[in-house]
């Protein structure tokens, strides 16, 4: 009987410890639900996948995707020029951004920011594409998308994942951006983004996990008291 009790207590404490230090989803969106927290400038929009052939030269890359990445029927995504299928130089145009609302990451560690990308673009100094996070004071770039010879020409959805633990804060946000810098830039279909997920480990366990751990410690203490009485007897 004691072995069974010890096994149960051990299992409860093991489960509690695992849950206490397991990554949990802090934020996720497939752009099919509530999108009111997002702001969009330039040619960014959120809506159904709208495949469009890119026009004739000087165009490069692939057309927009015919379907979103999410394995459901909603077919929603965030993209640049949806329904137009291309991005061209506009003299004096400001950069365009898709920016999330505030995500409170205070108290989280091992934070991972991931998303699925379908991007076709040109290289610097013609076009700049950015993925940035807000560290509470300034925007921090995560990757250089426009290295000559390495600029994305996606023909399928591509997973991107970044460790953003160093930038976790109570005012965390993320944004995707583009800027056409030269009239010599090629015409491209630009960004499509879907299934954004942020996961992290809480420094302080959830109340339910605390309760399970306390139960385990209490049961262990009770068993020790019984064992002590048995020895004295």
Q: How confident is the model at residue 109 (pLDDT cuts 50, 70, 90)?
A: very high
Q: Is the Cβ–Cβ distance between 44 and 50 less than 8 Å?
A: no
**pLDDT value at residue 71:** 93
- Where in the chain does DSSP place strands (E)? 24-29, 39-40, 44-48, 76-80, 96-99, 108-117, 127-134, 139-141, 158-163, 173-180, 192-202
* Domain ranges within the chain, ordered by starting residue: 1-23+203-233, 31-202
pLDDT band at 22 (very low <50, low <70, confident <90, very high): confident
Element (H, E) at 156: none
In a 13 Å sphere around the CA of 6, the CA atoms on its Cβ side amount to 6
pLDDT at 229 over 70: no
Tell me what pLDDT residue 86 has. 74
Residue 59: pLDDT band with limits 50, 70, 90 = confident
Mean confidence (pLDDT) of the chain: 83
Calculated CA dihedral for residues 56, 59, 61, 67, nearest 10 degrees: -60
pTM confidence score: 0.79
Instruction: Identify the CATH assignment for 31-202 out of 3.40.1790.10, 1.20.1050.10, 3.40.50.11540, 2.60.120.200.
Output: 2.60.120.200
In angstroms, rounded to a whole number, what is the distance separating the alpha carbons of residues 136 and 193?
A: 24
Q: Which of 11, 23, 20 is nearest to 211 (CA)?
A: 20
The pLDDT assigned to 111 comes to: 98
Mean pLDDT of 126-130: 96
Tell me what percent of the residues of the chain surpass a pLDDT of 70.
74
Q: What is the pLDDT of residues 162-202, one digit of tens each?
A: 999 999 999 999 999 999 999 999 989 999 999 999 999 99
Instruction: Tell me the Cα Rg of the chain.
Output: 25
């Amino acid at each position: 009987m004691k072995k069974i009790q010890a096994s149960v207590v051990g299992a409860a404490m093991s489960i509690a410890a695992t849950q206490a230090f397991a990554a949990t989803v802090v934020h996720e969106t497939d752009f099919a639900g509530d999108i009111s927290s997002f702001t969009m400038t330039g040619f960014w929009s959120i809506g159904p996948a709208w495949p469009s052939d890119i026009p004739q030269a000087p165009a490069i890359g692939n057309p927009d995707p015919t379907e979103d990445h999410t394995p459901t029927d909603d077919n929603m995504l965030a993209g640049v020029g949806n329904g137009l299928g291309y991005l061209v130089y506009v003299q004096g145009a400001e950069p365009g951004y898709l920016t999330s609302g505030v995500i409170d990451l205070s108290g989280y560690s091992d934070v991972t920011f991931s998303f699925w990308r379908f991007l076709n673009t040109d290289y610097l100094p013609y076009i700049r594409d950015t993925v940035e996070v807000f560290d509470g004071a300034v925007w921090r770039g995560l990757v250089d998308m426009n290295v000559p010879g390495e600029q994305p020409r996606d023909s399928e959805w591509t997973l991107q994942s970044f460790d953003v633990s160093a930038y976790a804060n109570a005012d965390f946000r993320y944004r995707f951006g583009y800027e056409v810098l030269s009239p010599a830039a090629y015409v491209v279909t630009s960004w499509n983004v879907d299934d954004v997920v942020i996961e992290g480990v809480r420094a302080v366990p959830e109340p339910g996990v605390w309760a399970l751990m306390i139960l385990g410690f209490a049961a262990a203490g009770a068993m020790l008291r019984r064992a002590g009485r048995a020895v004295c007897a």
